[in-house]
């Protein structure tokens, strides 16, 4: 069974690693790895392949940056050539980035079945590019691998037959659990003169937060208040750093002595930073899941989440980007009043193995259905 596995951006790498590892153990599957090059920065791309032990991609499309339309179009043009050359039996896409949607469309138009890992997540916010990618991808997917029961309910509501939905668990957590020992050996805390539990970690990159001067200025004001109580460590996304300069916020930030900016960190350093934090401030989807498994309080600076299980079962609360609400949530944590949370079902490090086992069953059934009757 020839399967093309697609990855294109930093969140994809953590998701594809356990799947590729399980496929390498299969006697049925011949995997191909295609990197679209949607993230082309060294710290955002190649270092992740090295750190996570992902094999060198069979093909790198090197599409680079551009508007959503330009990037999606480039991926589709280049990926079509790959599909026509390999002639796969299945194309597997993960997550919700432009590469996910673009490659699913190409495969489907060439009559190649599509499997979507992390299917069925919904934020109900069409202003999020990722939500468009999720909806389009799932509308043409053949096999849906889900992380939790909320995703199953969403897909059933959209008319997906139950027999095409597979509750595999969370591949992001496979990668996290496997890499915890290596993360524990990182010296990021000593490098930044930090003590476990005495700082907050942060990520911030979504357009809704960083592209509006009024919103970003309000957030910086909230961080200014919070850093008077506890250090905030912020590995700055290139997009966010650019906006700090553009909106004239850099000088104010330099005056915030407990607001520590660093360059982007590799996966193991970031995992160590989050694991030892008092709490995490984020607008990322994946970090909501990681903090739930690590048992670290998480404040999500968005108005919605496509991962509600991190709120209903985990350590996450969604507070939006209102400065007052963010400060209040931090005070709640610092006063010891945050919920404890628990780890959701099948977030146990075995999702990749489950996905490959289901793909082997699908292949066997397809071959049986195609064989002539005795």
Catalytic residue IDs: 205
Phi, psi of 296 (to 5 degrees): -100, 130
Residues facing residue 94 across a β-bridge:
117
Give the start-end residues of each E strand in 36-113. Answer: 59-60, 90-94
Cα 365 → chain centroid? 31
Helical H segments across 87-148, by residue range? 98-109, 129-140
Contact 74, 103 (CB under 8 A): no
Helix residue ranges, H only, 149-259: 149-157, 171-184, 188-191, 207-210, 213-226, 238-246, 250-254
Q: How far apart are CA 62 and CA 258, in angstroms?
A: 39
CA distance 208 to 42: 26
Measure the CA–CA gap between 336 and 72, rounded to whole angstroms: 45
Cβ pair 117, 14 in contact under 8 A: no
Q: CB-side exposure of 94: number of CA atoms within 13 Å? A: 29
CA 226 from centre of chain:
26
Strand blocks (E) in the chain: 2-7, 30-35, 59-60, 90-94, 114-117, 143-146, 165-167, 199-202, 231-235, 259-262, 279-282, 298-300, 316-318
């Amino acid at each position: 069974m020839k399967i093309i596995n697609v990855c294109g951006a930093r969140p994809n790498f953590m998701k594809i690693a356990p799947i590729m590892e399980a496929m390498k153990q299969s006697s049925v599957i011949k995997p191909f790895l295609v990197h679209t090059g949607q993230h082309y920065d060294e710290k955002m791309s190649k270092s992740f392949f090295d750190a996570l032990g992902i094999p060198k991609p069979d093909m790198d499309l090197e599409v680079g940056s551009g508007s959503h339309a330009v990037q999606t179009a480039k991926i589709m043009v280049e990926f079509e050539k790959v599909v026509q050359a390999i002639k796969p039996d299945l194309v597997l896409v993960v997550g919700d980035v432009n590469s996910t949607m673009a490659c699913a469309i190409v495969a489907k138009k060439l009559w190649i079945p599509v499997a979507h890992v992390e299917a069925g997540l919904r934020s109900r916010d069409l202003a999020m590019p990722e939500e468009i990618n999720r909806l389009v991808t799932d509308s043409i997917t053949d096999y849906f691998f889900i992380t939790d029961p909320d995703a199953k309910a969403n897909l059933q509501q959209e008319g997906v037959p139950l027999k095409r939905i597979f509750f595999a668990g969370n591949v992001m957590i496979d990668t996290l659990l496997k890499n915890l020992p290596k993360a524990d050996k990182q010296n990021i805390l000593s490098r930044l003169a930090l003590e476990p539990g005495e700082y907050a970690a942060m990520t911030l990159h979504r357009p809704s937060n960083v592209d509006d001067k009024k919103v970003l200025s309000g957030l910086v004001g909230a961080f200014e208040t919070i850093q008077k109580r506890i250090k905030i460590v912020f590995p700055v996304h290139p997009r966010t750093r650019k906006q700090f300069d553009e909106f004239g916020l850099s000088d104010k930030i330099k005056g915030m002595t407990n607001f520590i900016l660093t360059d982007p960190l590799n996966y193991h350093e970031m995992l160590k930073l989050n694991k030892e934090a008092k709490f995490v401030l984020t607008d990322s989807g994946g970090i909501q899941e990681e903090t739930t498994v690590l048992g670290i309080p998480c404040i999500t600076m968005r108005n919605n989440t496509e991962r509600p299980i991190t709120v209903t079962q985990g350590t996450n609360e969604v507070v939006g980007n209102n400065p007052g609400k963010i400060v209040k949530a931090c005070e709640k944590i610092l006063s010891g009043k945050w919920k404890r949370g628990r780890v959701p079902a099948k977030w146990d490090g075995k999702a990749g193995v489950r996905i490959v086992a289901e793909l082997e069953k699908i292949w066997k059934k397809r071959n049986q259905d195609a064989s002539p009757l005795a």
